[in-house]
């Protein structure tokens, strides 16, 4: 049969659709729909036309079975395999489609990057799924208006290669199996998607008319639907910051942890929780400026997101913008005849520094104190995670570097560095961690998280001096032990004993999240009624990154004593951190005596943006330690010079009196009358 003939047969063929809803919800009988028009491709057929032309066990599809209902969640009412053929040249029309029943009438996003479906992509020797991935959903149609507006949606699964293969390559032609654990759908206005369980294993046999070995045979396509076991998780987040890092002054280790409850029966049945596979989008923020100086904040606000001055000069430095009236600098001072700074903004080309032409973040706080891991973020001059997250989402000042490929393309890439920490990057058989989309299957015994402290690097006298000052050079610098923890920990009652500070230090979590972790544990171990079951709480530590926070001087050029620059110390700092958007757990793998069982997870993705906290060492407006050190040095100098001090004082007095004596001598010479005999000068 020619291609044109096959196409005509295809356009006239009966299209079989198979349907299931997760058996934990309401079971629906398989639906069989027929092509409405012979000249319309299946991508463009209308969702309501498809459904209304279908039958359920010989009975026409009835809209009364799908009412609007605000107490019901979204359901997948149909998963469709369309025109599969074992012949490669007949697969152009092959596709997988999903029909959504939306009882709340939510306005779902039609952006394919916002909506996904999670499906198995490989199987073990016994035919059990052992790996899952998410696939984008391309919007096809919805009920646009009328009495059923937004009640039904139709999407197409966008296939992508997994280890060089697609779905058509992986399925068995005689029994095409598709394991679908859930779908993620995003409502317009929502920050993240919500995942809804499907819990279905769909096995299609036979072929649509014209697509089997006998091109003249009628359709023999049918579908058998079985329940797919899944784990539904509600994922929460916490973080921990050490006080030092092997990277030196201003750097801290940041450990990110999510925690959730898993029914205990999974561990009883399948053994130890060995692996957790997750995916996310990882980025590193540019410098986030926090200040308590209102005058500076008001002057600099119009320049947030705005490049300063003209193009950089031949040295890569920018001119000073006088209209702002202020500069920012770290270690800004004079070395010989050259002005230098470790970092600066609007310093002008008189300074040699790391050039920062644009500031993208700025927050005003009441006061700034040093980092305190046990204090409320706001009380020490920090920025709470929700405030920073809202700033990122609502930033609209510039898109010089484009937009991030998430959140419907609304987040400016200008807010983030061109890459993530080198220490975070990874590429091996378990996954890829890089800037942007990352995924990794963490092993409980292998992928340990290490927080390396400054003291563990055995710093030299000079290392301590250069990083933490002269005092640290003599004291040996800050002393903190390194910490290494397993990525997966099952909480025990003993882990939650003691004060909240003790628990936070033991579990390496934020002290302000301890009460929530306690509540999660108590709810997990308590069985409330027949519909509840005992659970265990899992702490999943998935990332150790570099948090940078350093004090910044606000400089008012030529406004100080004798026209020198005036420095405001202790009134500003900059910070940078790693953030993780759309963090999502894909699957859990259990290990029982070497037998591994993979269970897919139904879990809505979350965005992880941590609090911004002040530096560990924050100078006061008056550096009293400098004054005290100067006094001590003066006293020591006086003690050392005590034996010769009288002679030094006498010599200084003689030098000081020389001009006085000279003036007096001249005066006396003018007033002296001539005599016949020379008289000696009068004694003074």
pLDDT for residue 481? 95
**Mean pLDDT to the nearest integer, 260-269:** 98
Number of neighbouring beta carbons within 10 Å of residue 205:
14
Residue 363: name the closest of 393, 396, 329, 387 by CA.
Answer: 387
**Mean pLDDT to the nearest integer, 669-683:** 47
Which range of 36-45, 55-64, 304-313, 334-343 scores highest in mean pLDDT? It is 304-313
Average of per-residue pLDDT values in the chain: 86
pLDDT for residue 619? 81
What are the φ and ψ backbone dihedral angles of 247, each rounded to 5 degrees? Answer: -80, -10
**Mean pLDDT to the nearest integer, 573-587:** 98
Question: pLDDT by residue (tens digit) across 506-537?
Answer: 999 999 999 999 999 999 999 988 889 999 99
Residue 432: name the closest of 544, 277, 591 by CA.
Answer: 277
Which range of 86-100, 296-310, 404-418, 615-629 scores highest in mean pLDDT? It is 404-418
Question: pLDDT by residue (tens digit) across 188-208?
Answer: 989 899 999 999 999 999 998
pLDDT band for position 475 (cuts 50, 70, 90): confident
pLDDT for residue 101? 95
- Sheet strands (E) in 292-419: 327-330, 333-335, 338-340, 343-345, 351-352, 355-356, 361-364
% the chain with pLDDT above 90? 65
The pLDDT of residue 64 is above 60:
yes
Contact in structure between 476 and 458 (CB atoms under 8 Å)? no
Number of neighbouring beta carbons within 10 Å of residue 107:
12
Which range of 309-313, 556-560, 592-596 scores highest in mean pLDDT? It is 592-596
Using only C-alpha atoms, the chain has a radius of gyration, in whole angstroms, of 36
The pLDDT of residue 680 is above 50:
no
Contact in structure between 256 and 542 (CB atoms under 8 Å)? yes
The pLDDT of residue 657 is above 90:
no
The pLDDT of residue 639 is above 60:
yes
pLDDT band for position 40 (cuts 50, 70, 90): very low
The pLDDT of residue 30 is above 80:
no
DSSP of 526-595? ---STT---EEEEEEEEEEEEEEEEE-EEEETT-SGGGPPEEE-SSEEEEE-EEEEEEEEEEEEEEETTE
pLDDT for residue 93? 84
Contact in structure between 193 and 604 (CB atoms under 8 Å)? yes
pLDDT band for position 92 (cuts 50, 70, 90): confident
The pLDDT of residue 334 is above 90:
no
Residue 580: name the closest of 439, 418, 442 by CA.
Answer: 439
The pLDDT of residue 225 is above 50:
yes
> Poorest-confidence range of 55-59, 222-226, 273-277?
55-59
Question: pLDDT by residue (tens digit) across 107-123?
Answer: 999 988 889 999 999 99
pLDDT for residue 210? 86
pLDDT band for position 338 (cuts 50, 70, 90): low
Q: How far apart are CA 603 and CA 25, in angstroms?
A: 17
> Poorest-confidence range of 76-85, 176-185, 594-603?
76-85
How close are the terminal C-alpha atoms of the chain, in Å? Answer: 133
Question: pLDDT by residue (tens digit) across 160-188?
Answer: 999 999 999 999 999 999 999 999 999 99
The pLDDT of residue 671 is above 80:
no
pLDDT band for position 14 (cuts 50, 70, 90): very low
pLDDT for residue 15? 36
Walk across the sheet containing 116-123 and list its strands: 75-82, 95-101, 152-157, 129-142, 116-123, 176-185, 194-205, 222-227
Q: What is the largest CA-CA distance in the chain?
A: 153
Q: How far apart are CA 221 and CA 237, in angstroms?
A: 46
The pLDDT of residue 356 is above 80:
no
The pLDDT of residue 473 is above 90:
no
> Poorest-confidence range of 93-102, 201-210, 268-277, 338-347?
338-347
Q: Which residue has the higher pLDDT, 591 or 474?
A: 591
pTM of the entire predicted model:
0.85
213-232 exposure pattern, b = at least 16 Cβ within 10 A, e = fewer = eeeeeebebebebeebebbb
pLDDT band for position 26 (cuts 50, 70, 90): very low
């Amino acid at each position: 049969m020619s291609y044109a003939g096959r196409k005509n047969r295809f356009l006239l063929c009966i299209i079989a659709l198979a349907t299931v809803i997760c058996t934990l919800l309401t079971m629906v009988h398989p639906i069989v729909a027929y092509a409405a028009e012979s000249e319309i491709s299946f991508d463009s057929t209308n969702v309501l036309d498809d459904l209304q032309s279908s039958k359920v066990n010989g009975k026409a599809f009835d809209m009364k079975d799908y009412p609007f209902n605000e107490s019901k969640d979204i359901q997948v009412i149909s998963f469709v395999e369309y025109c599969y053929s074992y012949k490669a040249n007949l697969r152009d029309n092959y596709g997988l489609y999903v029909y959504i029943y939306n009882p709340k009438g939510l306005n779902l996003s039609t952006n394919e990057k916002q909506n996904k479906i999670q499906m198995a992509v490989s199987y073990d020797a016994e035919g059990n799924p052992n790996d899952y991935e998410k696939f984008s959903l391309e919007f096809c149609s919805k009920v646009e208006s009328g009495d059923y507006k937004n009640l039904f949606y139709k999407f197409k699964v966008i296939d992508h290669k997994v280890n060089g293969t697609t779905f058509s390559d992986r399925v068995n032609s005689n029994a095409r199996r598709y394991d679908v654990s859930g779908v993620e759908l995003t409502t317009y206005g929502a920050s993240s998607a919500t995942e809804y369980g499907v819990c279905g294993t769909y096995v299609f046999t036979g072929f649509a008319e014209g697509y089997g070995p006998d091109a003249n045979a009628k359709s023999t396509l049918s579908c058998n639907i079985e329940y797919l076991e899944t784990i539904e998780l509600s994922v929460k987040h916490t973080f921990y910051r050490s006080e030092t890092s092997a990277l030196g002054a201003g750097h801290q280790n940041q450990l990110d942890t999510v925690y959730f409850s898993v029914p205990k029966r999974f561990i009883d049945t399948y053994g130890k929780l060995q692996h957790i596979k997750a995916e996310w989008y990882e980025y590193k923020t540019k410098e986030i400026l926090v200040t308590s100086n209102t005058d500076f904040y008001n002057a600099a606000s119009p320049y947030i997101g705005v490049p300063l001055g003209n193009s950089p000069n031949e040295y890569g430095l920018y001119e000073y913008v006088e209209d702002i009236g202020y500069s920012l600098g770290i270690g800004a001072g004079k070395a010989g005849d050259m002005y230098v700074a470790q970092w600066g903004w609007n310093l002008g080309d008189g300074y040699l520094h790391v050039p920062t032409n644009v500031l993208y973040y700025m927050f005003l706080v009441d006061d700034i104190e040093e980092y305190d891991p046990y204090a409320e973020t706001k009380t020490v001059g920090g920025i709470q995670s929700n405030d920073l997250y809202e700033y990122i989402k609502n930033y609209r000042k510039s898109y010089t570097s484009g937009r991030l490929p998430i959140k419907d393309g609304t987040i400016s890439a200008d807010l983030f560095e061109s890459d993530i920490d080198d220490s975070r990057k990874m590429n091996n058989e378990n996954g890829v961690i890089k800037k942007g989309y990352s995924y990794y299957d963490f092993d409980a015994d292998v992928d340990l998280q290490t927080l390396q402290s400054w003291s563990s690097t055995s710093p030299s006298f000079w290392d301590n001096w250069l990083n933490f000052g002269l005092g640290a050079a003599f004291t040996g610098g800050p002393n903190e032990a390194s910490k290494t923890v397993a990525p997966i920990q099952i909480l025990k009652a003993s882990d939650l004993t003691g004060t909240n500070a003790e628990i936070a230090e033991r579990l390496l979590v934020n002290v302000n999240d301890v009460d929530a972790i306690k509540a999660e544990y108590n709810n997990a171990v308590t069985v409330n009624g027949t519909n509840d079951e005992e659970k265990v709480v899992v702490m999943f530590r998935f990332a150790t990154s570099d948090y940078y926070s350093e004090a910044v001087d606000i400089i008012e050029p030529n406004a100080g004593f004798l026209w020198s620059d005036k420095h405001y110390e202790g009134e500003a700092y900059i910070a940078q951190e790693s953030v993780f958007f759309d963090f999502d757990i894909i699957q859990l793998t259990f290990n029982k005596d070497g037998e591994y069982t993979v269970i897919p997870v139904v879990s809505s993705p979350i965005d992880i943006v941590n609090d911004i906290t002040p530096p560990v060492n924050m100078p006061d407006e008056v550096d009293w330690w400098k004054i005290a050190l100067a006094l001590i040095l003066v006293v020591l100098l006086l003690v050392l010079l005590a034996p010769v001090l009288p002679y030094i004082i006498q010599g200084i007095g003689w030098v000081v009196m020389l001009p006085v004596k000279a003036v007096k001598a001249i005066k006396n010479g003018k007033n002296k009358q001539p005599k016949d005999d020379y008289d000696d000068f009068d004694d003074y």
